[in-house]
Amino acid sequence: MKKRWIAAVIFSLLCVAAVILVCTFFGAADITIKDTLIVLTNKMTGLLETEADALGAKNTIIWDLRFPRSLLAFLVGGALALCGGVYQAIFKNPMADPFVLGISSGAAFGATIGIILAIPASFLGLNTISFFAFGGAILAIFFVYNIAKVGKQANTTSLLLCGIAVNQLLTAVISFAMLLSANQMKKIYFWTLGSFSSKGWDHVFNVLPYIIIGLIVIFLFAKELDIIVLGDETAIRFGIDVEKNKRILFIVTSLVMAACVSVSGIIGFVGLVSPHIVRLVWGPAHKKLLPMSFLLGGIVLCICDTISRSIIASEIPVGIVTAIIGAPFFIYLLRAKNTEVL
């Protein structure tokens, strides 16, 4: 079993490398896989410098535009799937997704303010819209948690209901803002559908620390999640401080999600579907579920982003592609299993 797991991890990592490579060379410009390999080899190892320089503008297209975009799509997709797996365990609900605590509406509200203000500035590498989106997501989580908290604790049902309430409230405020700023309506609406357009290395480096720290912390709680999913009372009998563990996981996943949403907009279904697929193959053990969900989510979003910029000349938001592919597939999974996955 251990050998099978190691082989699966190696195979998955090779699939990740292959998908990112293919997604990097795929596009409107006439660039081959050979060109892509030459540029990436040169940038990462310093070899093939003459061959890379001979490619001219292709060098810039590959390294400064396509590769960071594909890498960012993989990281965000992986983070969405990872957080989705955590929320499905904490809420003991297979329908829970990464935006259940109002993160999406908070980020969209912040982005709406940034778009309306149109301040031509940046902070820590984030443009105004991304910075406001990050702040909006964090504020939404803060309000949800404090409204749901009774004494020093906030149970999952209260958090879920408060998240829904905040989502509805902020969605209404965003709609009102769109009516008042009709000239910015299209830009706001486009952002809420999710996109990696015009994203580069700055965005990769801004989300990377959050994702790395989030991965490490969440993996450390894999065993606790295995027990928490059985029920809070069972977890307490095993000596687990359920509220403390949930609080830490909520904070970590919320920061990861806020960072991702601030650079990508709102992208649905990746965080909902990916953990289900992995659970069907590898079972409910979070030691395997979490890393495989991260890899699968990254692959799925990377492919969806490539599709979104290839279907028509003016690219469509990646959130539309994930919804079109994800919704029917998720329905198929539910029909095929005809039972709860958790």
> Percent of the chain having pLDDT more than 90?
27
Rg of the chain, C-alpha, whole Å: 21
Q: Does 341 have pLDDT greater than 50? A: no
Q: Each residue of 205-264: pLDDT tens digit?
A: 989 999 999 999 999 999 999 998 888 888 888 888 888 898 899 889 988 988 898 888
Q: Which amino acid is at 189?
A: Y
> Percent of the chain having pLDDT more than 70?
94
Write down the pLDDT at residue 299: 96
Q: How far is Cα 166 from Cα 144, in angstroms, rounded to an integer?
A: 7
Kindly tell me the burial class for residue 236, based on how many C-beta atoms sit within 10 Å of its own C-beta (0-12, 13-18, 19 or more).
Answer: middle
Q: How far is CA 111 from the centre of its chain?
A: 17
Write down the pLDDT at residue 325: 85
Q: Does 338 have pLDDT greater than 60? A: no
User: Who contacts 336 (Cβ-Cβ below 8 Å, separation ≥6)?
Assistant: none
Q: Highest-confidence range of 6-15, 124-133, 226-235, 298-307, by mean pLDDT?
A: 298-307
Write down the pLDDT at residue 48: 81
Length of the chain: 342
Q: Locate the domains of the chain by residue range.
A: 2-337
Give the predicted TM-score (pTM) of the model: 0.89
Q: Each residue of 44-60: pLDDT tens digit?
A: 887 887 777 777 788 88
Write down the pLDDT at residue 122: 60
Query: How is residue 113 written in tokens?
Result: 């303010």
Write down the pLDDT at residue 67: 93
Mean of all residue pLDDT scores within the chain? 85
Residue 127, strand partner residues: 122
Mean pLDDT computed over 97-106: 81
Q: How far is Cα 193 from Cα 197, in angstroms, rounded to an integer?
A: 12
3-state secondary structure of 86: helix
Question: Which is more confident, 76 or 193?
Answer: 76
Neighbours of 76 (CB within 10 A): 33
Among 133, 75, 98, 100, smallest CA distance to 271 is for: 98
Question: Which is more confident, 258 or 304?
Answer: 304
User: Who contacts 209 (Cβ-Cβ below 8 Å, separation ≥6)?
Assistant: none
Q: Does 328 have pLDDT greater than 50? A: yes
User: Who contacts 7 (Cβ-Cβ below 8 Å, separation ≥6)?
Assistant: none
Q: How far is Cα 86 from Cα 96, in angstroms, rounded to an integer?
A: 9
CATH class given for the domain over 2-337: mainly alpha
| Contact status, residue 265 vs residue 105, Cβ threshold 8 Å | no
Please give, one letter per residue, the 3-state secondary structure of 179-246.
HHCHHHHHHHHHHHCCCCCCCCHHHHHHHHHHHHHHHHHHHHCHHHHHHHCCCHHHHHHCCCCHHHHH
Q: Each residue of 116-165: pLDDT tens digit?
A: 887 765 655 566 787 888 888 888 888 888 888 776 666 777 888 888 88
